[in-house]
């Protein structure tokens, strides 16, 4: 009931459609209850012998039945269509709501989540709400109203027969309770396994080149087959219980019918009940047990839909860890001054990634971060955009603590170019202009020229209208990187973060991109992560990060003269570059 109440808050916006649908359902039930009464009356007239007056009454009753059956068509349409309309609109709203919630979750939320499983929650699990609101709830209302309406009718016809009819009901209720407790865990497991299967499929289709390159097709097929049948086995466990439950309910209901027929015949023998009452009783009897057996099917559907609803609600009720404070102010007129004050950070496992990091980067300067892989360089840049919150310390932009400003205004002033370049499945122009939707083609071209990708785009068959494919599959690594740089340049944010932005380009292109970066450095604060030291040789300040701490800082010349870690990296890369040049 708590879950149903929680879900009803999501459906309240469509209450008008539901009210009309429920009203139509009640009218439909009333018509179904009235029809046997008219048929019983016609039987009584025939039994007592026909005369002209009786023939006239049968004619009126016949017209009444025709009107009832026509009204039943109208109310069945309104009940079914409006309930489905409201339910599918609710599904659409929930899909958008779940996606929007995921979109605003902090990055740490996704560390232990599979993309396919989250997709399953957005698409598959939300679909179960249609089953709940278009079928289960309306049919439950119909069944309850029909059951109690028929019960009243039966009690008015013959009290003894009515009590006999109710004898199997406690057994049916008990079996329903046992069924609910037994079957829902299996439906819950089935939903979970479906999410895992979607996750595996998403991983494999994204990594299809690696699978084929390493000849792992058979291995991956076996893993998909295993997860596929884990889902099927969980579903079959639930269906096995259902296959036992439904015939049991039908058997118990049939016992009630047998008791009524047998006891009714005995009462007729003793002339304690009229023939027309027995006819009416038998007609109502099918309506009486119909809702009970129908509830058995609804219980199964409800367990399945509730299992999916639990997974949806789990997402919606997960608190967002990074949100605006109530008194958060927008960050305006940003110059790009960045300051870290004793910042420490660790992920949920508690292992420290950054330890007491402090530095200052003046506006329009270029700050470079170098060091071994996995020492926290990328994490440091993600803290600037508040994708994570520092465990300790404070981060300031233009002397404003970023925890006190709105997320939207903060991120509008920062443009990232990530190491793992992501392009959307659209045209090159759409990808460059992604952060500036109203940018004209001339502005897009200027940004492309600054990123040294303009000529390469023009050489493509469709120019700026060239489709890049999923994740930019149709472009080379260097082309994708330069499109991402153009996207950042177009946004004209005062702060630009380059996370290995030149990692996938050749030396010549790297030099041209360096010139482009040099041209915008005076107008933008640039935070650059690089393993190729040639990229950041001209940085205003270089921070060497090791084991989560800043161990060295200074210009390229100062750090080389210092003779520490940076000098060793520079020596190794310089020698490696010389060897390559000799080989050529």
Q: If DSSP codes are grouped into helix, strand and coil, which group holds residue 527?
A: strand
CA angle 190, 191, 193 (to 5 degrees): 65
- Residues near 90 by beta carbon (within 8 Å), at least 6 away in sequence: 10, 11, 14, 129, 130, 133
Residue 355: predicted pLDDT:
92
The three-state secondary structure class of 429 is: helix
List of residues 6+ apart from 43 with CB closer than 8 A: 275, 276, 279, 280
Question: Which of 296, 300, 316, 367 is closest to 94 using CA atoms?
Answer: 316
pTM for the model: 0.71
Distance CA 388, CA 395 (A): 12
Q: Give me the phi and psi of 320, to 5 degrees please.
A: -80, 120
Annotate 21-30 with b (16+ C-beta within 10 A) or e (fewer): bbebbbbbbb
Identify the three-state secondary structure at position 56.
Answer: helix
Relative to beta strand 495-499, strand 525-529 is parallel
Kindly give, in sequence order, each residue whose CB lies less than 8 Å from that of residue 258, ignoring residues fewer than 6 positions away: none
Residue whose token pair is 């009218």: 27
How many C-beta neighbours within 10 Å does residue 403 have? Answer: 16
Confidence at residue 393, expressed as pLDDT on a 0 to 100 scale: 94
Residues 6+ apart with CB under 8 A from 527: 338, 361, 367, 369, 381, 384, 495, 496, 497, 498
Residue 138, classified by CB atoms within 10 Å of its CB into exposed (0-12), middle (13-18) or buried (19+), is buried
Which pLDDT value is given to residue 405? Answer: 93
Q: What is the SS3 string spanning 298-324?
A: HHHHHHHHHHHHHHHHHHHCCCCCCCC
Sorted by sequence, the CB contacts under 8 Å of residue 117 that are 6+ apart come out as: 195, 196, 198, 199
In the chain, the domains with their CATH numbers are 81-316 (1.20.1560.10), 338-554 (3.40.50.300)
Nearest to 396 by CA among 387, 386, 388: 386
In sequence order, the β-bridge partners of residue 354 are: 345
162's tokens: 């009515």
Q: Which sign, positive or negative, has the C-alpha torsion 375, 380, 383, 387?
A: negative
pLDDT along the chain (584 residues), means of 10: 69 83 83 72 64 72 80 85 85 86 82 78 81 78 79 80 78 76 77 78 71 74 85 80 75 76 74 71 72 69 77 84 88 91 85 91 91 87 91 93 92 84 83 86 88 86 84 74 84 86 65 67 82 83 92 92 90 65 42
pLDDT score at 583: 40
Give the C-alpha separation, 536 to 540, whole Å.
Answer: 9
**What pLDDT shows up at residue 219?**
80
Q: Of the candidates 416, 420, 408, 407, which has an alpha carbon nearest to the alpha carbon of residue 491?
A: 416
């Amino acid at each position: 009931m708590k879950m149903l109440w929680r879900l009803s808050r999501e459906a309240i916006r469509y209450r008008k459609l539901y009210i009309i649908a429920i009203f139509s359902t009640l009218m439909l039930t009333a018509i179904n209850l009235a029809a046997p009464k008219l048929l019983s009356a016609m039987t009584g007239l025939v039994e007592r012998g026909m005369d002209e007056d009786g023939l006239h009454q049968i004619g009126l009753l016949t017209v009444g039945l025709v009107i009832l059956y026509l009204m039943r068509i109208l109310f069945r349409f309104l009940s079914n269509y409006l309930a489905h309309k409201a339910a599918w609109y609710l599904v659409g709203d929930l899909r958008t709501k779940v996606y929007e919630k995921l979109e605003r979750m902090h990055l740490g939320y996704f560390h232990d989540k599979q993309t396919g499983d989250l997709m399953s929650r957005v698409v598959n699990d939300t679909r179960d709400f249609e089953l709940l609101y278009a079928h289960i709830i309306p049919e439950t209302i119909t069944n309850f109203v029909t059951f109690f309406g028929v019960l009243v009718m039966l009690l008015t016809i013959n009290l003894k027969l009515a009590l006999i009819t109710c004898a199997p009901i406690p057994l049916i209720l008990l079996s329903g309770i046992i069924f609910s407790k037994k079957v829902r865990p299996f439906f819950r497991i089935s939903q979970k396994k479906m999410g895992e299967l979607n996750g595996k499929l998403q991983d494999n289709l994204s990594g299809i080149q690696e699978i084929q390159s390493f000849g792992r097709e058979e291995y991956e097929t076996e893993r998909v087959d295993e997860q596929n049948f884990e889902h099927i086995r969980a579903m079959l466990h639930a269906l096995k219980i259902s296959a036992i439950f439904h015939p049991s309910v039908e058997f118990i209901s049939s016992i009630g019918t047998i008791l009524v027929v047998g006891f009714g015949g005995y009462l007729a023998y003793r002339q304690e009940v009229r023939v027309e009452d027995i006819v009416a009783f038998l007609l109502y009897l099918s309506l009486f047990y119909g809702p009970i057996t129908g509830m058995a099917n609804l219980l199964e559907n409800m367990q399945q839909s509730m299992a999916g609803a639990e997974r949806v609600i789990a997402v919606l009720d997960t608190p967002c860890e990074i949100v605006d404070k109530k008194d958060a102010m927008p960050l305006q007129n940003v110059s790009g001054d960045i300051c870290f004050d004793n910042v420490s950070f660790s992920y949920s496992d508690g292992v420290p990634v950054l330890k007491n990091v402090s530095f200052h980067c003046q506006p329009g300067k270029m700050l470079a971060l170098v060091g071994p892989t996995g020492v926290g360089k990328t994490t440091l840049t993600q803290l600037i955009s508040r994708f994570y919150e520092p465990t300790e310390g404070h981060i300031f932009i233009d002397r404003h603590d970023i925890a006190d400003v709105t997320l939207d205004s903060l991120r509008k002033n920062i443009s990232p170019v990530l190491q793992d370049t992501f392009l959307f499945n659209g045209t090159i122009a759409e990808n460059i202009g992604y952060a500036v939707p109203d940018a004209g083609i001339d502005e897009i071209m200027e940004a492309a020229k600054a990123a040294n990708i303009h000529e390469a785009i023009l050489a493509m068959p469709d120019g700026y209208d060239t489709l890049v494919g999923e994740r930019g599959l149709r472009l080379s690594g260097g082309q994708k990187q330069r499109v991402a740089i153009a996207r950042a340049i177009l946004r004209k944010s005062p702060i630009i973060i380059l996370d290995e932005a030149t990692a996938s380009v050749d030396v010549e292109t790297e030099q041209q991109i360096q010139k482009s970066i040099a041209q915008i450095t005076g107008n933008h604060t640039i935070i650059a992560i690089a393993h190729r030291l040639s990229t950041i040789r001209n940085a205003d300040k270089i921070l060497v990060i090791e084991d989560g701490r800043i161990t060295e800082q200074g210009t390229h010349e100062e750090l080389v003269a210092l003779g520490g870690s940076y000098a060793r990296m520079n020596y190794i890369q310089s020698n490696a570059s010389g060897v390559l040049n000799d080989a050529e």
